Amino acid sequence: MKQVLPPGMTAAQMDRALAALARVVGSEWVLATDLDRDTYLDHFAVDESAHAAAAAVAPLTVEQVVEVMRVANTHKLPLWPISRGKNFGYGGAAPRLKGSVVLDLSRMKKIEFDTDNGVALVEPGVGFYDLYDYLQQHKLPYWTSVPGNSWGSVLGNALDRGVGYTNYGQHTEKLCGMEVVLPTGELMRTGMGAMKDSPTWNLYRYGFGPSWEQMFVQSNYGVVTKAGVWMMPAPESMVGLDLELDKPDDLGWAVDLVAGLRRDGLLVQSPSIGSWLRGAATLTTRKEWYDKPGALPDDVIGAIRKRFNIGWWSVSLRLYGYESVNEAAAGVIQAQFAKKTTQPMTVSRWKQGQPMSPSPSVAAVAGIPITFPLANAAWHGGRGGHLGYSPVLPPNGVAAMDQFRRTYDRYKEFGMDYHGSFAMGERSIVNVNQVLFNKDDADMMSRVGGFFRALVADATGKRYGEYRTHIDYMDLVASTYDFNNHALRRANEAVKDALDPNGILAPGKSGIWPRRYRNQRA
């Protein structure tokens, strides 16, 4: 048996806790064989065993979730909630605290749809594919917004501040009205939902008094069992404007230009300006290009760009809505780019009634679920994996270029292949960098930790924080949020202790440790 246990718990205590859980959900939904435990490992982690779960429990109803929380309190059993557990690059299904029991909500798959207002009320197990299929089957005039890996759940992705590519791509901002089981087992609803039978629960975000919704995002304060998600009305037209930028330095002016478009509202989606490896890593493997260790040299980068006919950076903008409005906006955007480059933008047009291009790279901007970007984990060969490093920058070209240069130098120093993108928000940039690796390459794996820490230290030096991180680095990233000697952490942990006196829910998530496990902080 590969049984693992949380700190301070004996095997007999764990057995008793699992038996009590079986009485709630049925013994077939307490998953505690070696194979079950393997299923919940984070196969992308540098050290999978560091986050091994003791078991998993998979309730079907909110009543069962309430009872599971009560059992966890009685037995002082740490639980780690997942919706579908596909948070790859950030931990997958695996818990931060080794020996936790995964609270697997993937069986809870109900969808209720408010067609008039365009709101889906979803349970945690509803995947992007499920919601997409639902819209198609019911011929509903709405689009989903999907992330690059759409294997996961609508709710879990929004709860970790995942993003998509349409005007509704800031997923966490589209949540409206949650049902939550607090760590003590108390069931509550946020916003207008705090009024029984309110018809505006999923329409008006705030309710009366403090707004709690974001308290349950990237936190360990509650298990979300249902949430309203606003959906984008199917647009009359979609216009694409694509541009390949030849030189690394082109990033600077492109960021300034797109930041302006975002600020003045002409562009509503958050486009990502990405480097040449993005396509190559999903469509080819490294050994097709180069068989030596160390970062890829410039001539190889040139060959990759030539084959895929791409720039050092690719800019891909999308406009959604009424055709005449899109055409007018496209004209203004093209004129702005024409002042900076003689290269014309490639324009693509789609209208309601036309077939959607089957090209996978177009699918995500049209809200169609995809998984092919996950193929980038195979770039190096062997058992592939990846890790995300994503600091938040101010939205200007000088900051972006400075960040790019510094990060690119670090990739070269540690012999890794640069894979960066700049996702342009309304008033910020999220600089998403992928660290691709081969878990069968011991030398490469020995470099990953030091590389990641160096990247975080560089960003912290500039006072940039990360927006999201892998379970391995939650304490590290949380520690960089240091104003007034970590006042935020003290506040987070005061709330944690108040809501979760036994410290049973997701100990260590986002660097927030309950009193009971505070000595586990890395």
Q: Return the active site residues.
A: 90, 467-468
DSSP state of 127: B
Q: Does 224 contact ligand ADP by CB under 6 A?
A: yes
| Residues 200, 353 contacting (CB under 8 angstroms) | no
State which residue has the least CB distance to ligand ADP: 156
Measured CA to CA, the distance from residue 485 to residue 308 in angstroms comes to 49
Toward ligand ADP, which CB reaches closer, 70 or 406? Answer: 70
Classify residue 371 as exposed, middle or buried by CB count within 10 Å of its CB (0-12, 13-18, 19+).
middle
Shortest Å distance, C-beta 157 to ligand ADP? 4
Report the residue from 130, 160, 244, 417 that binds ligand ADP according to the rule CB under 6 A.
160
What are 154's two structure tokens? 């609508």
Shortest Å distance, C-beta 494 to ligand ADP? 20
Report the residue from 157, 438, 460, 480 that binds ligand ADP according to the rule CB under 6 A.
157
Q: What is the H or E stretch that residue 238 is in?
A: strand 237-245
- Closest among 153, 171, 174 to 163, alpha carbons compared: 171
Shortest Å distance, C-beta 462 to ligand ADP? 26
Toward ligand ADP, which CB reaches closer, 85 or 274? Answer: 85
Shortest Å distance, C-beta 42 to ligand ADP? 10
Shortest Å distance, C-beta 59 to ligand ADP? 11
Measured CA to CA, the distance from residue 474 to residue 471 in angstroms comes to 5
Measured CA to CA, the distance from residue 283 to residue 379 in angstroms comes to 9
Per-residue contact track with ligand ADP, 475 to 514, x per CB under 6 A?
Answer: -------------------------------x--------
Beta bridge partners of 114: 119
Toward ligand ADP, which CB reaches closer, 157 or 314? Answer: 157
**Stretch binding ligand ADP (CB under 6 A), from 113-121, 147-155, 250-258, 406-414:** 147-155
| Residues 269, 329 contacting (CB under 8 angstroms) | no
Classify residue 327 as exposed, middle or buried by CB count within 10 Å of its CB (0-12, 13-18, 19+).
middle
Angle between helices 11-25 and 62-75 (to 10 degrees): 160
End-to-end CA distance of the chain: 27
Report the residue from 72, 122, 146, 155 that binds ligand ADP according to the rule CB under 6 A.
155
Instruction: Determine the longest span between alpha carbons in the chain, in angstroms.
Output: 72
Neighbour tally for 319: CB within 10 Å: 25
**Stretch binding ligand ADP (CB under 6 A), from 113-121, 134-142, 149-157, 318-326:** 149-157
Toward ligand ADP, which CB reaches closer, 42 or 417? Answer: 42
**Stretch binding ligand ADP (CB under 6 A), from 36-44, 150-158, 390-398, 407-415:** 150-158
Shortest Å distance, C-beta 467 to ligand ADP? 13
Residues 180-219 that bind ligand ADP (CB under 6 A): none
Shortest Å distance, C-beta 284 to ligand ADP? 26
Helix spans in 52-149 (H): 62-75, 128-137
Shortest Å distance, C-beta 37 to ligand ADP? 17
Toward ligand ADP, which CB reaches closer, 438 or 510? Answer: 510
Angle between helices 323-338 and 250-263 (to 10 degrees): 140
Measured CA to CA, the distance from residue 418 to residue 397 in angstroms comes to 19
Per-residue contact track with ligand ADP, 74 to 113, x per CB under 6 A?
Answer: -------xxxxxxx-----------------x--------
Q: What angle do CA 299, 303, 309 make, to 5 degrees?
A: 135
Integer-rounded Cα radius of gyration of the chain: 23
Helix, strand and coil percent figures for the chain, each rounded to 5: 40, 20, 40
**Stretch binding ligand ADP (CB under 6 A), from 152-160, 190-198, 319-327, 340-348:** 152-160
Toward ligand ADP, which CB reaches closer, 53 or 267? Answer: 53
Shortest Å distance, C-beta 289 to ligand ADP? 31
Residues 305-364 that bind ligand ADP (CB under 6 A): none
Measured CA to CA, the distance from residue 104 to residue 84 in angstroms comes to 7
Residues 121-140 that bind ligand ADP (CB under 6 A): 124
| Residues 488, 62 contacting (CB under 8 angstroms) | no
Measured CA to CA, the distance from residue 74 to residue 436 in angstroms comes to 42
Beta bridge partners of 494: none
Residues 42-81 that bind ligand ADP (CB under 6 A): 81
**Stretch binding ligand ADP (CB under 6 A), from 35-43, 151-159, 329-337, 513-521:** 151-159
- Closest among 355, 177, 319 to 238, alpha carbons compared: 319
Report the residue from 223, 315, 430, 456 that binds ligand ADP according to the rule CB under 6 A.
223
Toward ligand ADP, which CB reaches closer, 42 or 244? Answer: 42
Q: Which residues contact 167 (CB under 8 A, 6 or more apart)?
A: 232, 268, 269, 320, 321
**Stretch binding ligand ADP (CB under 6 A), from 157-165, 298-306, 369-377, 431-439:** 157-165
Number of residues that bind ligand ADP (CB under 6 A): 19
Shortest Å distance, C-beta 353 to ligand ADP? 32
Residue 286's φ and ψ, nearest 5 degrees, are -60, -40
Query: Binding residues for ligand ADP, per CB under 6 A?
Result: 81-87, 105, 124, 152-153, 155-157, 159-160, 223-224, 506
